[in-house]
Structure 1
Amino acid sequence: MSLDYEIYNLGDVKLQRGAMLRDCKLAYKTFGTLSPSKDNVIVYPTWYSGQHYDNEWLIGEGRALDPNKYFIIIPNMFGNGLSSSPSNTPEPYNGPRFPQVTAYDNVRAQHRLVTEKFGIEHIRLVTGWSMGALQTFHWGALYPGMMDLIAPFCGSAKCSRHNFVFLEGVKAALTADAAWNEGWYTEKPQRGLRAAARVYAGWGFSQAFYRQKLDLETLGYSSLEDFLVAFWEGFFLPKDPNNLLTMLWTWQNGDISDNELYNGDFKKALGAIKAKAYVMPGQTDLYFPPEDSEFEVANMPNGKFVPVPSVWGHFAGGPGTNPKDVEFIDAKLKELLAS
């Protein structure tokens, strides 16, 4: 089977929290052609549990992310099963022994890919949904002079305390399954995965989404239970639990100021983002409410608050679930790229 992505070997990488990730691999896929002057670059990181395939809904001819115009790089996050992850790392750092990886580690690795592999010094736009937005904010804060534009949508620059608590529920559901076996499972802990899916289901879409029965009317499920099983349990069951927990830890510890540049000063980190930014929260997102984005924009020199008018909650931002929201986000990205 031929892979539709490539691997960049980073060698031995010392991670932010002290561990060494040996023979570290960053999986990525590119679209379009790098211009001779290398000035048409878009970096588009992946989200929680997503792989590059799950980002492709926003790329296409006539879209803002048009491969005829831009060279688009989708780097896969550590822990997502393609880049170095619990599921593909050899002993002794396999499974639950896989080290703790931060968004800072991810973006530093991506920076190496962009500069070392492609010789790119300047990026036109960094954009991403959810944890992709977290990485987008990190790009803006860690390499402020490197890109013109950023567009984080349905995500935040720092995991809020409320968001942290929600993720504790997901983690508890996943690890309560006896088959979980402290991460040394021999068979898939499917009860834990199904339970985690149901915890997620109450958060991924908004109250209005469920009130309007969009799971039935628009997505075509036969009942609420059918939606919970077919959509949500179906979403989680193929995924590796240790991978999910690695990325969950990355998410909970996301903070653009948690590094030697900003030493925990969140406002300072936001203030350092030079790029022109469209910060696009989903209006009804329960993970990343618009208030958090308003605070971020208020502390960013070139930030604009652009809420996505949608009742689709967090899923207003992906992965291409509601066509109207896709059109809104695409139009705003076009507007930003034209500026």
Structure 2
Amino acid sequence: MATITVRDLLIRRGFGLLSLLLLLSALGWAQQEPSAFPKQFEGDWNVPDFTFKSGEKLASLRLHYITLGSPERDAAGHVRNAVLILHGTGGTGRNFLSAEFGGELFGKGQPLDATRYYIILPDAIGTGKSSKPSDGLRMKFPHYRYDDMVRAQYLLVRDGLKVDHLRLVMGTSQGGMHTWLWGVTYSDFMDALMPMASAPVEIAGRNRMTRIMAIDAIKNDPDWKNGEYSKQPRGLIAARNIRSIMTGSAVQYQKENPTAEEADAAIEAMAKAALRGDANNTIYQYEASTDYNPSPMLEKIRAPLFAINSADDEINPPELGILEREIKHMKRGRYILIPLSPETRGHQTYNRAVLWKKHLLELLHMSEPGGSSGE
């Protein structure tokens, strides 16, 4: 029997492959076309002499960002409508311009209407058009951690964009973990927090194990050459596949690839997409979470916080009971679990704003300055 190719899959199961490509795009493996939103702007801001937690330094740290809308200031000159949205591992701010996310949130009359809010979508250190190992330093690039990434975001917002207050900080996956760190590090800087597909504890258990497996898949490939490769090592494919299985939905994978041939073709497509990434960037992205652990500091969070996860998330399985335990350390925190349904997408349910935007609206309402505090 002849092996089905990606081209065959496009012809025979176009919808299934489209869903796969949306998945890859959400992970930063495929480029998205920019969408037209009000006053959309894209730029770079450079931080001179940035010192990392490790003590390493970068003479100029480039931070790329997209903004939608315009900042509005109150009588005292403080910005009151800025929203910061933080992407997942290997992603970019542009991912949020997708129809499933931005198309549900940023349009006229929608929860984060870009004619009313000033929306900030940065590329984190190590990804997108921000400074990263593949720019030239390779494995000599400073070994950044989540704390460094969040501090850089803060500097971009405060000094680069001249925003002195955020109406909301929200993020997905890695960006969700960054949101927790924003809450404990800059507790007076925002009115509300919404971390998604994340937990406020150190990364351990299967989550940490799969990250180490992904890193080892690259480093154990002889073609990696200690980061001095001339072409992407195929260990990068294994690294990305490990994470795609963890971030995807078993139900959706089965629906979209119901035969052995189609599953094989999907793997072929994923391999090609993986090799469009960069091995060193991937190592750094996974290692950045090494010392993440805001749990001991959760009582510092002052703003109302909605933590939203999904029941079919293999990275943050609800059976662990982590969020039920940790949310008790916050006076104004709430844990929301999206139940399994034909509409959920595992860890990446966060991309489907239609499933959770009602909770965002509630959070915005209860955190309105001068309104109900939710206490």
TM more than 0.5: yes
Tell me what 2:287 maps to: 249
Once the 2 structures are TM-superposed, how far is the Cα of residue 284 of structure 1 from its aligned partner? Answer: 1.5
Identity of aligned residues (%): 26
User: How do 1:63-212 residues align onto structure 2 when only pairs under 5 Å count?
Assistant: 63-88=110-135, 90=136, 94-162=137-205, 163-189=207-233, 191-210=234-253
CA distances 1:62-81 after superposition (whole Å, capped 9, x unpaired): 43222111101112111114
Please state if 1:286 is matched with 2:323: no
Amino acid at match of 2:59: R
| Aligned counterparts of 1:65 and 1:56: Cα–Cα separation in 2 | 12
Q: How far is the alpha carbon of 1:19 from its aligned partner?
A: 0.8
2:53 matched residue in structure 1: 16
SS at match of 2:288: helix
CA distance in 2, matches of 1:123, 1:222: 49
SS at match of 1:87: helix
Q: Secondary structure at the match of 2:111?
A: coil
Q: Where does structure 2 lack aligned partners over 5 or more consecutive residues?
A: 1-39, 367-375
Q: In the alignment, does 2:345 pair up with 1:312?
A: yes
Shift of 1:86: 0.3
- For structure 1, the 5+ residue unaligned runs are 257-265, 319-324
Length, aligned pairs only: 312
In the aligned structure 1, how far is the partner of 2:133 from the partner of 2:260?
34
In structure 1, which of residues 40, 63, 75 is the aligned counterpart of residue 81 of structure 2?
40
Q: Aligned-pair distance for 1:115?
A: 1.4
Shift of 1:16: 1.0
Q: How far does the alpha carbon of each residue in 1:304-337 deviate from its partner, in whole angstroms, 9 at most, with x for none? A: 011122352211123xxxxxx4201222212211
TM-score where L is the length of structure 2: 0.78
The CA deviation string for residues 145-187 of structure 1, in whole angstroms up to 9 with x for no partner, is 1111100000122342111111011112222322111111111
Q: How far did 1:25 drift? A: 1.1
1:5–1:335 distance in 2 versus 1, CA, 3 Å: same
Aligned pair in 2 of structure 1 residues 249, 176: CA closer, same or farther (>3 Å)?
A: same
Equivalent in the alignment of 1:303: 333
Q: Distance in 2 between matches of 1:281 and 1:43?
A: 19
Are 1:224 and 2:263 an aligned pair? yes
Distance 1:297 1:214, change over 3 A: farther
The structure that has the greater radius of gyration is 2
Contact 1:115 1:121 in 2 (8 A): yes
Structure 1 CA distance, aligned partners of 2:117 and 2:261? 41
Deviation, structure 1 residue 272? 0.8
User: In the aligned structure 2, how far is the partner of 1:39 from the partner of 1:4?
Assistant: 19
Task: Look up the equivalent residue of 1:288 and give its one-letter code.
Answer: N
For residue 225 of structure 1, what is the amino acid of its counterpart? D
Tell me how far apart the structure 1 counterparts of residues 228 and 41 of structure 2 sit (CA, whole Å).
30
Cα RMSD for the two superposed structures: 2.2
C-alpha displacement of 1:285: 1.0
2:33 alignment partner in structure 1 = none
Once residues 177 and 227 of structure 2 are traced to their aligned partners in structure 1, the CA distance between those partners, rounded to angstroms, is 26
- Could you tell me how far apart the structure 2 residues matched to 1:198 and 1:289 are? 19
